[in-house]
Structure 1
Amino acid sequence: MEPSAPNPLSLDLYDQPGHLIRRAQQIAAQLFREVLGPDVTPVQYAILRMLQESPGIDQVTLAKLVALDNSTTADIAARLESKGWIHRELLPRRQRRLSLTPEGEAMLAAFVPNVHELRTRMLSALEPEEQVEFKRLLRKFVQLHDAAEVGEQATATSGK
């Protein structure tokens, strides 16, 4: 019996960057829930941290900084406001300025030890030099794709 020829259309799923990124995101989200609990999602945490770093920014700028669309950011901001963690102030032209409340600041401060534990758990399977390289490559991947997206948007805008 002759060995079958390899299927030219067959691809190793675990050699596909998209699949690996999706699995890495699933793992990261699971670890986030295990360490930080169910009260805040990774995206909510990103918004809260950005507001901590840039208090009083407008909602559209916040959306760009955390890589979300405006309507999703508005929905999440409304949820965070209902939890008492942020304050939304209406500005001219239907914009909103966002800032953390004292409760939001306290919640983030209480999360600090857990965030350190989360980072440790996420990276613990890698050697220290691999951890540095892994984070460097992830940053590079995101930055290059963000820059390409900005370039595409500028090209599309100038072509109108």
Structure 2
Amino acid sequence: MKTTPSDLSIELYEQPGHLIRRAHQIAVSMFHEELGRDVTPVQYAVLRMLQDRPGIDQVTLAERVGLDNSTTADIARRLEAKGWIVRELLARRQRSLSLTEEGTRVLASFVSGIHRLNGRMLDSLAHDERSDLIRLLQKFVHIHNDQSRAPVRSD
């Protein structure tokens, strides 16, 4: 049986991977519109985790945010250079990370922008659609966590 290209094709905008990639592009763009370019979404995630877990070691931080260790180390160096975090050497060449006073102030300055960002992302959806979207994204991430090159690990 001979197949044609149309027999093999799948509508691009029905492919979850493509839609997730586009959603990520849009989310990053909206993040920068609200918060500027001084911080990236990943740096923000690191700062938020350090707010919740001051003094966390760098490897555990990577596990909690879903980053590989080398990326986390690079982000930590950048945030330290900005004066937003401090890294302290622990045993076995591990590092403890904490927000500085400046980092705490910067993170606090992001709060209203994050609220606006979340609103912009979700306001066009009905209330039940918003909670469904968040619930389904959380479920997807949880179910497929081990497929990531940097799975999230928690206590």
- SS of 1:98 mapped into structure 2: strand
TM-score (norm 1): 0.88
Render the CA deviation track for 1:56-92: whole Å, top value 9, x for unaligned: 0000000011100000000000000000000000011
**2:65 aligned with 1:66, yes or no?**
yes
- The TM-score normalised by the length of structure 2 is 0.90
Alignment of 1:14-25 (within 5 A): 14-25=13-24
1:138 positional shift: 0.3
> How far off its partner does 1:149 sit?
4.6
The separation in 2 between residues aligned to 1:83 and 1:121, in whole angstroms, is: 28
Ranked by relative contact order (alpha carbons within 8 Å, sequence separation 6 or more), the top structure is 2
- Between the aligned partners of 2:49 and 2:5, the Cα distance in structure 1 is 49
1:57-96 alignment runs, 5 A limit: 57-96=56-95
Tell me by how many angstroms 1:125 deviates.
Answer: 1.6
| Bigger Rg, which one | 1
Distance 1:71 1:126 in 2: 37
Q: Which deviations, in whole Å up to 9, do the C-alpha atoms of 1:29-55 show, x marking residues without a partner? A: 000000010100000000000000000
> Given residue 119 of structure 1, which amino acid in structure 2 is its aligned partner?
N
Query: Structure 2 matches for 1:32-111, cutoff 5 A?
Result: 32-111=31-110
d(CA) in 2 for partners of 1:56 and 1:144? 29
- The CA distance in 2 between the partners of 1:66 and 1:29, in whole Å, is 17
Partner amino acid, structure 2, of 1:127? A
Cα deviation, 1:98-156, whole Å, max 9, x if unaligned, reads: 0000000001111111110000001122111100000000000001112x459xx9xxx
Question: Hey, what's the Cα distance between the residues in 2 that align with 1:135 and 1:99?
Answer: 29
- The root-mean-square deviation of aligned C-alpha atoms, in Å, is 1.5
What CA distance in whole angstroms lies between the structure 2 residues aligned with 1:106 and 1:6?
Answer: 56
**Counterpart in the other structure of 1:144:** 143
Task: Give 1:82's aligned amino acid.
Answer: A
In structure 1, what is the Cα distance between the partners aligned to 2:59 and 2:130? Answer: 33
Unaligned segments of structure 1, at least 5 residues = 154-160
> Structure 1 segments of 4 or more deviating over 6 A?
none
The number of residue pairs the alignment matches comes to 146
Task: Measure the CA separation in 2 of the matches of 1:8 and 1:55.
Answer: 55
Instruction: Tell me the distance in 2 between the aligned counterparts of 1:112 and 1:41.
Output: 15
Deviation at 1:6, TM superposition (A): 7.5
